[in-house]
Amino acid sequence: MCGIVGYIGYREAVPVLIKGLEHLEYRGYDSAGVAFITQKTGHIHVIKQKGKLARLKEDLRDVHLTSSVGIGHTRWATHGQPSRANAHPHMDMAGQIALVHNGIIENYAALKKELQHQGMTFQSETDTEVAANLIGSYYRKGCLVEALQKAVKRLEGFFAFAVIAKEEPDKLVVFKRSNPLVIGIGRGENFVASDAPAIMPYTNRVVYLEDDEFAILTRQNVQIFSLKTGKRVKRKPTTIHWSIAQAAKGGYPHFMLKEIFEQPRVVEMILKTRLRKGKIIFEKLDSKIAERLKHTQRIHFVSCGTAYHAGLVGSYMLGECLRVPVTTTVSSEFRYGDPTVGKHDLVILITQSGETADTLAAMREAKNKGALTLAIVNVVGSTIAREADWVIYTYAGPEIGVASTKAYLAQLATLALFSIFMAQIHPKGKIGHTKIHSLLRDLSKLPLQITETLKLETKINACAKDLYSKRTFLYLGRGYNYPTALEGALKLKEITYAHAHGYPAGEMKHGPIALIDKNQPVICICPRTSHTYEKMLSNIEEIRARKGIVLSVATRGDHAVQKLSRYTFFITKTEEMFSAVLAAIPIQLFAYKVASLNGRDVDQPRNLAKSVTVE
């Protein structure tokens, strides 16, 4: 995820762009840049820098160029490591246009080869520079809109663009497909940005672009057109009533809540990127890696915290899809346990940041022993992503809340795709084409089902008001949802500071049952699709017999569970493999609501850090 800002008007453009980027840095922070057309020479001037925005601002201190039109960008890398060369904006080879981009261009490699055959050269590793050169190849003086239209019709993926042209200093052209763009309407000036905070210091009147729409911004007006019909679109501006502080969180009181509600879009983007016409696609999978995957004899998940819980779910997924042994180990235990791994083993490292010290050390240990290493990482260009034999990026976007939510669901969705992929290529795959087709069909429904599950917020809020003063909680689950119980307890501990314990439900009678009395809340994850469903019902009955307070996550319409529970949070029926994805939503919301009611610092809970870089 990246941040785009653009300006055309009577003010000095660069200060406007920098202020906008300051409000968008949460969307990306590994590099930043601006491009503007100077009034004195009419040339496009580009200044960009690796690292946080402060470094770019330092570079701009001694720049005294007048401009009234420009574009800016703060980057969260997808193609190419963080560097000045890979930073946006990008220009075409002829220096005619400058472009900033948010999203992913899936067919960039083929287009790049085509453009190279035409004699074009490239300075970066990015898909964005490919788009800039493609637009440039169609550009003729005074026809930026036409060039952009022709180019985007050839681009596959999801993206948002803002473009300026040297020969057309009186306009700023933008385009949206999937990734957000909001246009700010001023007087004698107009703005564009990825999110409202970037423009709210100047205007609260905005227009949101829809998919496959482009807009032409001048000082005096904004014209919106449909790419498909070519006709002008009339849309009245909306007035934003948030403060800038609120807008930075999209109107949500905390980043954590915003990120919980971003999960349908995150999973949808993963599926759009990885699942094409029934085929699972992973980039950077060369023939050598593919061959080693086919001959894998054992698989080890290694990770920490929430990512460890994702690994546990992944072990169930791969166990269902393959006839090979699968284990899951906490990173800090893996390294110091002298792991028995070798050249026929696959070690999967899961990490949001890609910098977790324990996981990095475990990966290096596995590599030293000859194992194939696969990193499932959110942050592009991170150490683990660079050093692993192969990396699959989750593309969840920056996660600002310390307690992981959307990164966790991104990991689960990615693991589901990888597990099905392994069933397709590995000689010991356990499931056939019919089952694979069924799994992929249900997987594609997850974004809508997550959206539906988020509607539980009001009911969960009522439950939290009833129980927020409790200081101990017990979470129970079986199979795929034993890790959900662990994750639910971890979320509650992280942000409420209450004592919470996650257990496999079958183990309750071996100790934790001693905790249960009339004051003890027990959260039971009990989807009907589970083959241990009847056993979970028995566990709930045992809790009820001891007067425990039962909160259940159950399949919609399950009146048997509802009858035994004080509160029931219904999720949509899905394949058992994906039940942990949907069951995660109510436990995230419950933890958030309890923390909020207790007045906790939800986004930055005490003693925690987003990336743990010490062992």
Question: Is residue 524 annotated as a catalytic residue, yes or no?
Answer: no
277 with 410, same domain: the answer is yes
In this predicted structure, what is the pLDDT of residue 1? 57
Q: Which of 369, 470, 535, 610 is catalytic?
A: 610
CA distances from 161 to 4, 452, 509 (A): 8, 31, 58
Q: Specify the amino acid at residue 235.
A: R
Residue 189 belongs to domain spanning: 3-247
Mean pLDDT of 487-501: 97
85 with 227, same domain: the answer is yes
Tell me whether residue 472 is in a domain.
Answer: yes
Tell me whether residue 607 is in a domain.
Answer: no
Assign 318 to helix, strand or coil: helix
Query: Among 444, 472, 487, where does a domain finish?
Result: 444
235 with 276, same domain: the answer is no
Tell me whether residue 605 is in a domain.
Answer: no
Assign 323 to helix, strand or coil: coil
* Helices 579-597 and 482-496: angle between axes, nearest 10 degrees: 20
CA distance 491 to 487: 6
Residues in contact with 325: Cβ distance below 8 Å, sequence separation at least 6, in sequence order: 297, 298, 299
94 with 17, same domain: the answer is yes
- Residue 565 is given by DSSP the state -
Tell me whether residue 342 is in a domain.
Answer: yes
476 with 428, same domain: the answer is no
What does the H/E/C string look like for 560-581?
Answer: HHHHHCCEEEEECCCCHHHHHH
- pLDDT tens digits for 8-29? 999 999 999 999 999 887 666 7
Do residues 89 and 47 make contact, with C-beta atoms less than 8 angstroms apart?
no
- pLDDT tens digits for 394-408? 988 878 888 999 999
Question: Is residue 610 annotated as a catalytic residue, yes or no?
Answer: yes
With 60 as the cut, is the pLDDT of residue 613 above it?
no
Band the pLDDT of 382: cuts 50, 70, 90: confident
Tell me whether residue 501 is in a domain.
Answer: yes
CA distance 469 to 185: 47
**Residue carrying the six token digits 């964005």:** 128
> What angle (nearest 5°) sits at the alpha carbon of residue 219, between those of residues 214 and 225?
20
110 with 145, same domain: the answer is yes
Q: How many C-beta neighbours within 10 Å does residue 141 have?
A: 10
- Residue 84 is given by DSSP the state T
In this predicted structure, what is the pLDDT of residue 597? 97
CATH number for the domain that contains residue 98: 3.60.20.10
423 with 505, same domain: the answer is no
Residues in contact with 333: Cβ distance below 8 Å, sequence separation at least 6, in sequence order: none
Q: Which of 2, 321, 463, 526 is catalytic?
A: 2
Q: Specify the amino acid at residue 412.
A: L
Q: Specify the amino acid at residue 179.
A: N
With 90 as the cut, is the pLDDT of residue 2 above it?
no
- pLDDT tens digits for 575-603? 999 999 999 999 999 999 999 999 999 98
In this predicted structure, what is the pLDDT of residue 82? 87
CATH number for the domain that contains residue 375: 3.40.50.10490
Query: Among 410, 444, 478, where does a domain finish?
Result: 444
In this predicted structure, what is the pLDDT of residue 587? 98
CA distances from 544 to 71, 280, 550 (A): 61, 45, 7
Could you give the dihedral angle defined by the CA atoms of residues 523, 528, 530 and 532, in that order, rounded to the nearest 10 degrees?
Answer: 70
- pLDDT tens digits for 416-459? 999 999 999 999 999 999 999 999 999 999 999 999 999 999 99
433 with 526, same domain: the answer is no
469 with 325, same domain: the answer is no
Assign 124 to helix, strand or coil: coil
In this predicted structure, what is the pLDDT of residue 52? 85
74 with 92, same domain: the answer is yes
Tell me whether residue 449 is in a domain.
Answer: no
- pLDDT tens digits for 202-233? 999 999 898 899 999 999 999 999 999 999 99
* Stated pTM of the model: 0.80
Tell me whether residue 160 is in a domain.
Answer: yes
435 with 484, same domain: the answer is no
243 with 296, same domain: the answer is no
Do residues 592 and 603 make contact, with C-beta atoms less than 8 angstroms apart?
no
Mean pLDDT of 380-395: 89
Count of domains observed in the chain: 3
Do residues 375 and 355 make contact, with C-beta atoms less than 8 angstroms apart?
no
Tell me whether residue 341 is in a domain.
Answer: yes
